[in-house]
Amino acid sequence: MLVERDEEITRLTQLFAGGTGGSGGVGVISGVVASGKTELLNRVSDIAVAKGIRLLSAVACASEQEFPYAVLEQLLRGVPPRLLGPELDPRAGLGGPGQAGPGVLQGFHRALAELAAAGPLLIVVDDAQYADPQSLECLTYAVRHCRDTALSTIVTYCSSTGSAALHELLQQPDVRQVRVSPLSVAGVARLLTEELGARGAQRHAAAFHAATGGNPLLLRGLLEDRLSLPAHGQEEGDRQDGTADTPVIGEFFHRAVLSWVHRYGDTDHLRTARGIALLGDADSLPLLSGLVGIEESAVRQSVAALGEVGLLQDTRFRRDEVRAMLLDDLPHEELGLLHRRAARLLHEQGAGPTEVARQLLSHEAAAPDEDWVPRVLRDAALLALAEDRAEFAVRCLQLARRHCADERESLIIQATLADALWRVKPLTQVQRLQPLAAPAREGLLPPRHALRVALGLMRIGSLDDAAAAIGRVSSTLAENPGSELDGELRAIGLALSCAYPDSPELRRFQEAWGAARRPDQAAGTPDGTTAEGPGIAALTALRGVLKDSADDEAVQDSVRDAEQVLGSTRLSEGTAYALRAALRTLIYADRLGTAATWCDRVLAEAAGCSTQAWSAGFSAIRGQIALRGGRLTDAVRHGECALEQLPMRGWGVVVGMPVAVLVNAHTAMGDHDAAGELLARPVPEALFRTRFGLHYLYARGMHQLATGRHQAALADLRGCGEKMAAWDLDSPSVLPWRLGMAETWLALGNREEAARLAQEQLDLAHPSLPRTRGSALRVLAATRPVAEQPALLQQSLDLLRRSDSWYGMARAMAQLARAHKQLGDLDKSWLMTRRAWRLADGCGAKELSRSLQRPPGRATTTGAATAPADGEAAAAFAALSDAERRVAALAASGYTNREIAAKLFITVSTVEQHLTRVYRKINISHRQDLPTSLGWDVAHTA
């Protein structure tokens, strides 16, 4: 279907519109390759034949351009034999080189003149730019000498090519030029209508035009691809909003592009197109010219032609698939040479390292063994790491290492690669780090890279090698005081004192750099962090909580500093450790709600990053927050997520954190097999020389206690406490090892020792640690006579409620229920049991929940003697409004007025008013008299 060509058809048919007699003329159809010139020529030819006009036609071919008279022979096939004299035998009529013989010129002219005298004659030549010079000379001669006859000539040609003979033909005085342009969106719609219908054509026209620029050849390929899809008539692939999806690129479009490629042959246009495909755009004409080896002016013309043909939009390909097709069509070796040339040109012109690296990485043979290659690739890798493109950075560094001949530069590349691999393939980092330990220790690495290697060695547990590397850097920098690495050394010192305290080799660095100033004692910045960066501030805050826990003011300062770091720092390679330290500061300070809020924000950031190890680390921290908040199910979910994202072997010594979270949570839930399976997995020996090992030891000790291995529990918990004391980390909120031992001694019947440990824990915990104090009071109550327990347990509940510790509250309520039962107060025991069961069930403490079971309705007691009979209560209950019923049900389940108000989103005053009306309607005087028939389900689901 030929669309948007009516005006062109009219202009061309006017050449022979007179029918018989009259003068003819020359028509020229120009345009880029595959723009529809041939189709227009064929339509005009059909019209001419339909009018009774004699037609002589020929199609020129690039492969026959060197054959004299190749086009002339095609034209003569339509000439009656009687007009073909011997002079028209091409073999007998050769003139000079590239010229027609005089006899052929005159013979062809006489034959055309006689045909034109008998009636209108039309000569058409397609792709005239490929016609041989002899044929064109004959045609030009005949046209020039038959100007007053009924001879018309129409040729198509591509404006960027053609011989001098063709240009002479095109310069005839009566030439009628017709330029074929790409189709408009409306034209595309008309073209699509026949196959897709009017509605489908309108829906898809804009997208098809955007993909092809209106080029008929590409459009038909795209249309065939759509028609080849299953059930295309049902508009599958269209979006629900009625607009069209991006057209599917398939085999037919691919063929159309390759057809364009092969029709161009090895022309400037094709070479330019391949160059643009390689570079990605044509923004720099000098660069493109140098790459394809064509003059800049010719490249400019080719870029314009590629835009006109519909392949380019501005300076880029409309579809990336076209780029891929052009490059795939190149021989492999030639493609490698082009990538190498592009890389070298980009480097020489001062392009960015990322741009050069893309060319070097695009082909295995693209990177030459030249000095500049490794440096450019390493620079590109560093930029990629800063932009969170770790996989690209790893590829750059791997290629740089293969092409690096300088030993020192090779070591730097290997160190950078080991760092980058931690972000994408943590399990392989150990293999990369160990060979670097000796160069770092011997000073063969620059100080900055040696420190990065040392940090990696610390993470995988090679503490001795790390100490040696840090010592070497320290000695080097001692000769250059005021180095820019001073801040990093101070951060390492703080990190060592917080996380790696049991290493004699590392201890001297803790003493030298670990005594960090408080942020408010250092030069500050407007965002509240120190001028040395968020790392120093966060690690100082963590150190304060770990080592100054008895100083309430110091802990408050640490919490404030940690929140400032979290509020002013975004996640990146250089800040991940600072954010982890700040979050752990809040955890150890019992600010669990605040920690959860910040951790969720950081997790959301990590989810958008390529470094899976970050998500794993923050998931482990989120699990620790959930565990301390008594959300056991959440703790397991986050802990398992951490180990799924980063298997245990990839954590190094830090594996103690996620494993401890899971073991503690499974133990509290009563899932002892799962906890035991985790503890059976191997962990690094160096783990027990770190703070992470303390968490592991405590979790293992509590598992031993829960499974009846009391002596083993005492050994683990005592070992944990001794290490904490020796390392100056014995903060009661870090790990409650004293309470674990106290519970073990209670199980062994030694109340005196249990009471001593619980009281010691309580004395150490200052008032700003509500969860820690509440847990200590719960254990302390178990060591006292039963008459003293309710008061202590109520204090414990109040503190645990302030810290929103579900599992802790459930355990305290369960103890309080038992105490009330032993004291004979069955009503209070029943209320506490119901609430304890509800909390245990809600937080996932299955073992505690089973031990409490779902309590039945409360038995009538002397305290409820004045309550109405069940029948009366049911009738009175029916008279309550829905709001009164909900409030009464919650009150009957033991909730306080403030808790009821929070659950139902009403004021405390409204709760009191509802209860007053309830008491009056069901004729009771006290809260304890509320009948159980008010309904467990309402209370449980409110």
**pLDDT exceeds 80 at position 558:** yes
pLDDT band at 927 (very low <50, low <70, confident <90, very high): confident
Tokens of 149: 């006859």
CA distance 199 to 189: 9
CA distance 791 to 789: 6
- CA angle, 408 then 409 then 415, to 5°: 90
β-pair partners for 935 = none
Q: Using DSSP bridges, classify how beta strands 316-317 and 312-313 pair: parallel, antiparallel or unpaired.
A: antiparallel
CA distance 460 to 649: 9
DSSP-assigned letters across all residues of 653-688: GGGHHHHHHHHHHHHHHT-HHHHHHHHTS---GGGG
Residues 6+ apart with CB under 8 A from 766: 549, 550, 552, 555
Q: Using DSSP bridges, classify how beta strands 312-313 and 175-179 pair: parallel, antiparallel or unpaired.
A: unpaired
Q: Given the structure tokens 């509320």, which residue do they identify?
A: 930
**pLDDT exceeds 70 at position 867:** no
Residues 6+ apart with CB under 8 A from 271: 292, 293, 294, 302
Kindly report the three-state secondary structure assignment for every residue of 342-370: HHHHHHHCCCCHHHHHHHHHCCCCCCCCC
Residues 6+ apart with CB under 8 A from 430: 460, 652
Residue 19's pLDDT is 43
Total count of residues recorded for the chain: 942
β-pair partners for 155 = 28, 125
Q: Given the structure tokens 């790392």, which residue do they identify?
A: 535
Report which of 857, 610, 624, 575 is spatially closest to residue 734, judged by C-alpha positions: 624
Q: Given the structure tokens 């035991």, which residue do they identify?
A: 676
**pLDDT exceeds 60 at position 871:** no
CA distance 768 to 87: 115
Report which of 213, 194, 186 is spatially closest to residue 4, judged by C-alpha positions: 186
Q: What is the mean pLDDT of residues 307-323?
A: 87
Do residues 860 and 932 touch, judged by C-beta distance below 8 A?
no
Which sign does the torsion angle of CA 48, 49, 55, 57 carry? Answer: positive
pLDDT digits (tens, 9 = 90+) for 219-236: 888 988 888 876 554 444
pLDDT digits (tens, 9 = 90+) for 689-716: 999 999 999 999 999 999 999 999 999 9
pLDDT digits (tens, 9 = 90+) for 53-66: 999 999 998 888 88
pLDDT digits (tens, 9 = 90+) for 564-613: 999 999 998 889 999 999 999 999 999 999 999 999 999 999 998 888 88
Q: What is the CA radius of gyration of the chain?
A: 43
All domains in the chain, ordered by first residue: 6-179 (3.40.50.300), 265-330 (1.10.10), 331-424 (1.25.40), 426-506 (no CATH), 516-605+613-641 (1.25.40), 745-852 (1.25.40.10), 867-941 (1.10.10.10)
Sequence letter at residue 738: R
**pLDDT exceeds 50 at position 237:** no
The lowest-confidence range among 20-34, 196-210, 325-339 is 20-34
Distances (CA, A) of 705 to 629, 746, 762: 21, 11, 21
CA distance 268 to 187: 30
Report which of 688, 773, 782 is spatially closest to residue 744, judged by C-alpha positions: 782
Residue 23's pLDDT is 58
The lowest-confidence range among 20-24, 304-308, 926-930 is 20-24
Residue 671's pLDDT is 95
CA distance 141 to 373: 60
Do residues 462 and 434 touch, judged by C-beta distance below 8 A?
yes
Residue 888 Cα to chain centre, angstroms: 51
pLDDT band at 17 (very low <50, low <70, confident <90, very high): low
DSSP-assigned letters across all residues of 755-781: HHHHHHHHHHS-TT-HHHHHHHHHHHH
Do residues 810 and 845 touch, judged by C-beta distance below 8 A?
yes
pTM: 0.72
Residue 754 Cα to chain centre, angstroms: 52
pLDDT digits (tens, 9 = 90+) for 270-282: 899 999 999 999 9
Q: What is the mean pLDDT of residues 666-685?
A: 95
**pLDDT exceeds 60 at position 522:** no
- Residue 325: how many CA atoms within 13 Å on its side-chain side? 23
Provide the 8-state DSSP code for 100.
B
Do residues 784 and 815 touch, judged by C-beta distance below 8 A?
no
β-pair partners for 122 = 55, 152
CA distance 441 to 775: 47
Question: What integer best gives the mean pLDDT of the chain?
Answer: 85
Among 60-74, 482-496, 866-880, top mean pLDDT goes to 60-74
Tokens of 7: 């005006």
Kindly report the three-state secondary structure assignment for every residue of 819-882: HHHHCCCHHHHHHHHHHHHHHHHHHCCHHHHHHHCCCCCCCCCHHHCCCCCHHHHHHHHHCCCH
Residue 233's pLDDT is 45
Report which of 519, 599, 597 is spatially closest to residue 557, judged by C-alpha positions: 519
pLDDT band at 242 (very low <50, low <70, confident <90, very high): very low
- CA angle, 534 then 538 then 542, to 5°: 170
Tokens of 910: 């409204």
Sequence letter at residue 512: A
Burial 766-791 (b: 16+ CB within 10 A, else e): bebbbbbbbbbbbbbbbbbeeeebbe
- Residue 513: how many CA atoms within 13 Å on its side-chain side? 22
Q: Given the structure tokens 């494993």, which residue do they identify?
A: 659
Beta strands in 476-542 (DSSP E): none
**pLDDT exceeds 90 at position 547:** no
Residue 762's pLDDT is 94
